[in-house]
Structure formats: structure tokens, C-alpha cells
Amino acid sequence: MTVCGHCSPEFDQLRREFESNIASGEELGAAVVVDVDGDVVVDLWGGYCDSERTHPWEADTITNVWSSTKTVTSLAVLMLVDRGLLDVRAPVAQYWPEFAANGKERIEVRHLLSHTSGVAGWEPPFGMDELYDWELASSRLAGQAPRWEPGTASGYHAQNFGQLLGEVVRRVSGQTLAQFVADEIAGPLGADFQIGARESDWPRIAEVVPPPPLPIDLTMLPEDNLTRLALGTPQLDAAAANTASWRRADLGAYNGHGNARSLARIMSVIVRGGTVDDITLLTPGTIDLIFEEQSNGNDLVLGLPLRFGIGYGLPQTISIPYIPDERICFWGGWGGSMVVMDLDRRMTVTYTMNKMGPGIIGSPRSEAYLRTVYGLVEA
């Protein structure tokens, strides 16, 4: 299967690696982009949209990018901060009064953005039908108590990050998160990205191929276990991403649809000082907020050392050694998608795929691509 797009000669090693993975079947369909200060030096795509290998991955193919969606959700919140409509140190209840229930009155917006709020998931019972019901899902979170002292540690808000922050966006802007992203981010930038997916775009969505099973069976953990709560409530089958209900939902934690090009277009705003092609979404002072460390230690949900700023992961060389300990922010998605924003190099690296690999916030493939990129730029 031919790989399409373009690649600057200095990144030829990345192209060869990508081509090899497509040819071997390690990738089914995928795309990778490297943007340096607005110059797209790598824009490659190839493979197939479907497991039967009948529909090639095209230039405008999009797919569900899982938790790489969180990078755009955080950007939406930071834009409201930049406009003076939100304060990251204000209580969430200042904007969403019902959230104060059950001891959450002192949880701040920054705690939601850094996975340190103590509200890491929905209390069971909670199923997929409830997940798709915005009002119900928000009200359930508003009524819960935190599971640990807010601000003292991170516990990855894997499934409810978009609900928590999306409700804040809705209360402050009057728009749903999906609409805000469409009107205020993707539209102005001309980026092919959306929370959920319009039905007219379904024919060009690459189907998600589920990953190998997690190393542990979440249902074997105690019902009140934080890992089970955050990752397994609701119980999520990756194949749900191929359904109409999933695509119609507003799930800012993990149902963004786009490709490497659109993610790079959007997220390069952070490495370019807040402005892309005369379109300003952030100012430098708001970008600096990202790098204010909120937690650095063992994540209570994922069980590995993680470091969070405001809205994004920050380098943690013990658990993520392939991202340099520099002025970089990032996040990735279940199965491998990845978004890395390197401010010192003014470089944005993005990767999306439809054949999910092992891993919650990246995969061996995304690690290999990033190691190659950094090996080349540091050579």
C-alpha cells in the first residue's frame, strides 16, 4: 500500500519507518504530521480505513482519536480563561453551582484540568446510555463526592474529563463543547476536527479496530477501586466508536474525530504563541499557565508516575522517557494517537491511526515515531 503525502528530506527516516509499518500490517491505516512553526515538514498518510482493506486511507480520512481529544477540550477551556470568562483558580461551583454538592465546593477549575479533582469517574451503576445523556451525566457528577483530597494527587479522568469541563464551557459560554470547538476553534482555523461526527462525514471515517485486552480485567477489581471506577465505568468496548450513538454524542474526553493534520493545525497554536495565520486563540500569559505544575507523582488511576500542568501532561522521564524534559506539553489516546507540543522548537507532532495498539496514553508505535522525530531534530 503506497504511503501518500510529503516529507522533508531530513525526516526521511520517519517516512521509511511509517512506510514499513504500513507495508507489514503493523499499521492498518494511519497519518503522521510534523509542523515546525507553521511549516508542515511531514504530512504522511496511508493504509486502509477498514479491516477488510477495501477502502484506502485518503487525505481527508478522519477517525476517532480517543483521548487526544482532551488536548482540544483543554484548549477550549483555556480560550475562555484567556477571554476573562473563567479563572482556573476559581471554584468550579462559581460557574456550575450544583457541583458544590457532597464536599466539592472548593474544587477549582485547575483541578479538573489537571485530573486532580478527586472526581475521576462516575459512580456505578452507570452505563453507555447514561454516558450519551448530557444532562444526566452532568447531574450525576455534580452529586458525587470526591474520592481523594482535591489537588493532592492526579487520578486520570479518563472518561469524564470532557463531561466535567464541557459542562463548565456550557455554563460559561452558552454553547455545548462540540459547538464551541466547531465555531471557535475548528471553523476559524479551517481544521477538519469535531467532537463527535456529523452524519455527512461518516463515510470517510476510518473504523476503529480494538486493541489487545488490558493487562488486567477491570471487572475483577473491587467495585470501589479507582482504576475500575475511572476506566471501567461505564464499561467501554472500543468498537463503540464505530456506532451511530457514539458519533452523535458530545464526549470531550474521547470522541473527537480528526486526523494528524487537523490536530497539528489546531494544537500548533500553543507552540506558536497563541496565533496561527493571524487567528489568535490564546495569549502568551495563558500558554504559560499550562506549565504551572499541578501534580507530579504516582497517578492514582493509571498507577504510573505522571506530571500534569494545567490542561496537559508535562514531561515525566520515568514513565514517558521518549519525551524530553523540556518546555513540552502533550497527551495521547487509547491505542496510540499522540499530540506533542514542543515550545522551544516551535514543533508540533501528531499521529492518528485506526488499528489500536496496547496502551492508554500512547502505544509502542507512537513511542517509536516520537523517538525517531527527536533523534532527527537533536542530531
The residue extents of the domains of the chain are 4-377
Among 51, 1, 59, 50, CA closest to 31 = 59
Distance CA 348, CA 340 (A): 6
Q: Is 227 exposed, middle or buried (0-12, 13-18, 19+ CB in 10 A)?
A: buried
Element (H, E) at 195: strand 194-195
Distance CA 97, CA 109 (A): 13
Among 72, 296, 283, CA closest to 162 = 72
Residue 376 near residue 10 (C-beta atoms within 8 A): yes
Let me know the angle formed at the C-alpha of 209 by 208 and 214, rounded to the nearest 5 degrees.
Answer: 115
For residue 241 the three cell numbers come to 466508536
- pLDDT of res. 215: 83
The one-digit pLDDT tens for each residue of the chain (379 residues) are 689 999 999 999 999 999 999 999 999 999 999 999 999 999 999 999 999 999 999 999 999 999 999 999 999 999 999 999 999 999 999 999 999 999 999 999 999 999 999 999 999 999 999 999 999 999 999 999 999 999 999 999 999 999 999 999 999 999 999 999 999 999 999 999 999 999 999 999 999 999 999 888 898 899 889 999 999 999 999 999 999 999 999 999 999 999 999 999 999 999 999 999 999 999 999 999 999 999 999 999 999 999 999 999 999 999 999 999 999 999 999 999 999 999 999 999 999 999 999 999 999 999 999 999 999 999 7
Distance CA 221, CA 199 (A): 38
- pLDDT of res. 367: 98
Distance CA 354, CA 357 (A): 9
Q: Is 225 exposed, middle or buried (0-12, 13-18, 19+ CB in 10 A)?
A: middle
Give this prediction's pTM.
Answer: 0.98
User: Count of CB atoms within 10 A of residue 209's CB?
Assistant: 19
Rounded to the nearest 10 degrees, what angle do helices 69-82 and 260-271 cross at? Answer: 40
Q: What are the helix and strand counts (H, E) for the chain?
A: 13, 15
CATH architecture of the domain 4-377 equals: 3-Layer(aba) Sandwich (3.40)
CA–centroid distance for 229 within its chain: 19
- pLDDT of res. 61: 98
The amino acid at 278:
D
SS3 369: helix
- pLDDT of res. 214: 85
- pLDDT of res. 43: 98
Distance CA 43, CA 51 (A): 23
| Cis peptide bond upstream of 125, omega within 30 | yes
- pLDDT of res. 1: 67
Residue 117 near residue 233 (C-beta atoms within 8 A): no
First-to-final CA distance of the chain: 30
